[in-house]
Structure 1
Amino acid sequence: MAALIASFLLAFSLLLVGVNALMVDYYAETCPGVEEAVEEAVKKATANDNTVPAALLRMHFHDCFIRGCDGSVLVDSQGNNTAEKDGPPNISLHAFYVIDNAKKAVEELCPGVVSCADILALAARDAVAISGGPIWEVPTGRKDGKISRASDTSQLPAPTFNFSQLKQSFSQRGLSTGNLVALSGGHTLGFAHCSSFQNRIHNFDATDDVDPSMNPAFADSLRKACPAHNKVRSAGSAMDSTNTVFDNTYYKLLLQGKGLFSSDEALLTHRKTMELVARFADSQKAFERAFVKAMIRMSSLTGGDGVRLDCRVVT
């Protein structure tokens, strides 16, 4: 118990340090065109590939949950070091080229000034806005980290997590239960591979082959897309029925038994989180307000100490 309390206090102190270190318009004098350059890179990529917004949002989340938002998820494996992006939970991450392109454009404007971590945070915000979601001011001033280890990706919350595991994972990073429900709404964008929800549709437990909390017709459609012992790596399901639009459909479907992950369904096993799911399902505006608040709080976790000139390389 003492170790858990110490871990929480450490995480919370890191959060406070991050909040104090960041500010809106951090680059107002040193790189005034940074936000426009990042937005242009995200828009251009999304015009050619509508999966880019979901990829950038997930990338930012995975970056922040390991040592804070320090751009370590962008680093390539090199030599004897296997980097975060090659850890099991991150194998399906993509669209790193978007950050590369944004970084190149920003370096032409103001060499050596803007961190890769800030570019990723701005890109995630732009990804949400481009998909029809809210726009918000992103506090900047993050620094890039020099450590990126695949082994650390075991710290990421898994799609198989139950509520207790989710709550612990978020609270250790100074994030509330409300933040958990709001950030889960990011699942309104994107695609999930069969491996992420296989546990719910095959051999669920000793009594049921399929998770009984799932809508039967929905479960049947997933079983057809992802048969037992599926070997098609690209097989899976859209996160929700409007998976390129940032809206509150995720919550509406969750209440209908059509959530994909165990971690999604877990939100309905606790009174407070279930009430929030119902509120967000009823009000897009309530969801957006909570999501923006949670994103700012999560992305204020910092841990780096420099600015990388190449987001893929630690120097």
Structure 2
Amino acid sequence: MRWWCCVFAFVLTLHLDIIAAKSAAQPPPNAIKNKPRTMPTTRPAADHLSTAYYANSCPNLEAIINQKVNAWIKRDSTLAPSIIRLHFHDCAIRGCDASILLNYPGSEKRAHASKTLRGFALIDEIKAEVERRCPRTVSCADILTAAARDATVLAGGPFWQVPFGRKDGRVSLVKEANTVPQGHENITSLIDLFQKLGLNIVDLVVLSGSHTIGRSTCSSIQQRFSNFNGTGKPDQSIDFNYLNSLKRQCKLDTNFVNLDGTTPRTFDVAYYTNLEKKMGLLSTDQLLHSDSRTSPIVDALASQAQLFTSQFAVSMVKLGNVQVLTGKTQGEIRRNCNFVNS
């Protein structure tokens, strides 16, 4: 009974989180009227975002983005998880400001941690079309955020409304990009990173569920095959048969292996059920199930598909709102996503 009570309490907490997120997006009509005039407050930058931001200035924006993302993913379905990952790498450093798209010596794009990122050409093509239709109006940060949503939907995941109004950053540093998680960190460091981004432990576990699709290079898991953490032995937290299967697939570090070993092309909760079977590809994945702070969340999501998809949408909105630049004094609208405006 204690286990069921814990799960019930967690599910209830998630339900309240969803309600709170919706309430925050739509404040009650009398909120401003009842606000004491003697206590002015500074609104968070994300509060300046709006789903209607481009309603007049670029009304066809979402249709343009959707058409381009759809066309590219039809040709190469592996681009869907790549766009989601590109969005995370952007937001994890300096917030969602398209700094990952800047391309010059010393930028985030040139970092070792960014070598396997893909999808840049798709974003460039979207930007070119948007500039043709709505010149100097739409930020690269907004394009990348909406593209990540559309890629999720095309992969079989949930839809959510994307609030717009982000500006593009002017700073991109290679040393900062190398702090993005690479699949071998401990849970404490991941929780700390997410907290710095304004995200919580539920967001960490839910957003990790994007690994239900996509692939990883074998170089990311080679340390699990032998001398794991200096023990001289393979990683003991992984299923023996699964480990042997991975070894056969990873004759070369440059080979690719599916992040989800059972249903790699389906956006579902198999990622979490795999963790329960000790079949997490990355060591950080498997640690989510062995750490007492995150394992109850993994178990709850593994048994409730609707809970996963609904909370994934909520957490992706939160991710897209991380440390955004807004207003007339922050950032800029880049004319080319690769370079700051001259």
TM normalised by structure 2 equals: 0.82
Q: Give the match for residue 99 of structure 1.
A: 123
Q: Of 292, 298, 306, which residue of structure 1 is paired with 2:332?
A: 306
Q: Please give the alpha-carbon distance, in whole angstroms, between the structure 2 residues aligned to 1:244 and 1:18.
A: 36
Three-state SS of the structure 1 residue aligned to 2:228 is coil
Cα displacement (A) at 1:86: 1.6
Cα displacement (A) at 1:208: 5.3
Q: Of 195, 202, 206, which residue of structure 1 is paired with 2:219?
A: 195
Q: Give the match for residue 215 of structure 1.
A: 239
Cα displacement (A) at 1:248: 1.4
1:87 counterpart = 2:114: no
Question: Structure 1 residues 203, 236: closer, same or farther in 2, change over 3 A?
Answer: farther
Q: Please give the alpha-carbon distance, in whole angstroms, between the structure 1 residues aligned to 2:242 and 2:50.
A: 44
Q: Give the match for residue 22 of structure 1.
A: 49
Q: Give the match for residue 76 of structure 2.
A: 49
Q: Please give the alpha-carbon distance, in whole angstroms, between the structure 2 residues aligned to 1:71 and 1:271.
A: 35
Structure-to-structure mapping, 1:257-276, within 5 angstroms: 257-276=278-297
1:148 counterpart = 2:172: yes
Read off the aligned partner of 2:67 and give its amino acid letter.
E
Q: Of 182, 185, 198, which residue of structure 2 is paired with 1:174?
A: 198
Q: Give the match for residue 158 of structure 1.
A: 182
Read off the aligned partner of 2:221 and give its amino acid letter.
F
Three-state SS of the structure 1 residue aligned to 2:71 is helix
Aligned residue pairs: how many? Answer: 293
Q: Give the match for residue 296 of structure 1.
A: 317
Q: Of 119, 131, 139, which residue of structure 1 is paired with 2:143?
A: 119
CA RMSD of aligned residues (A): 1.5
Three-state SS of the structure 2 residue aligned to 1:271 is coil
Q: Please give the alpha-carbon distance, in whole angstroms, between the structure 1 residues aligned to 2:282 and 2:156.
A: 24
Three-state SS of the structure 1 residue aligned to 2:257 is strand
Which deviates more from structure 2 when the two are superposed, residues 209-218 or residues 239-248?
Answer: 239-248
Three-state SS of the structure 2 residue aligned to 1:192 is strand
Structure 1 gap ranges (5+): 1-15
Q: What does the per-residue CA deviation read over 1:194-251, in whole Å, with 9 as the maximum and x for residues that have no partner?
A: 1211221221145452111101000011122225xx4x52x13111133232221111
Q: Is this contact kept in 2: 1:163–1:269, CA < 8 A?
A: no
Structure 2 gap ranges (5+): 1-42
Q: Please give the alpha-carbon distance, in whole angstroms, between the structure 1 residues aligned to 2:163 and 2:319.
A: 11
Q: Is this contact kept in 2: 1:87–1:153, CA < 8 A?
A: yes
Cα displacement (A) at 1:21: 2.1
Q: Give the match for residue 185 of structure 1.
A: 209
Q: Give the match for residue 280 of structure 1.
A: 301
Three-state SS of the structure 2 residue aligned to 1:155 is coil
Q: Please give the alpha-carbon distance, in whole angstroms, between the structure 2 residues aligned to 1:296 and 1:117.
A: 14
Q: Please give the alpha-carbon distance, in whole angstroms, between the structure 1 residues aligned to 2:185 and 2:233.
A: 19
Structure-to-structure mapping, 1:35-74, within 5 angstroms: 35-74=62-101
TM normalised by structure 1 equals: 0.89
Q: Please give the alpha-carbon distance, in whole angstroms, between the structure 2 residues aligned to 1:56 and 1:82.
A: 22
Which deviates more from structure 2 when the two are superposed, residues 36-45 or residues 194-203?
Answer: 194-203
Q: Is this contact kept in 2: 1:267–1:277, CA < 8 A?
A: yes
Q: Please give the alpha-carbon distance, in whole angstroms, between the structure 2 residues aligned to 1:205 and 1:88.
A: 21
1:236 counterpart = 2:256: yes
Q: Give the match for residue 133 of structure 1.
A: 157
Which deviates more from structure 2 when the two are superposed, residues 134-143 or residues 154-163?
Answer: 154-163
Q: What does the per-residue CA deviation read over 1:80-137, in whole Å, with 9 as the maximum and x for residues that have no partner?
A: x321112111100112111111111211221110000000000000000001110010
Q: Please give the alpha-carbon distance, in whole angstroms, between the structure 1 residues aligned to 2:231 and 2:182.
A: 24
Three-state SS of the structure 2 residue aligned to 1:237 is strand
Q: Could you tell me the percent identity over the aligned residues?
A: 36
Q: Please give the alpha-carbon distance, in whole angstroms, between the structure 2 residues aligned to 1:25 and 1:276.
A: 34
Q: Give the match for residue 12 of structure 1.
A: none
Three-state SS of the structure 1 residue aligned to 2:234 is coil
Cα displacement (A) at 1:172: 1.0
Read off the aligned partner of 1:124 and give its amino acid letter.
A
Read off the aligned partner of 2:287 and give its amino acid letter.
A
* Larger-gyration structure (1/2): 2
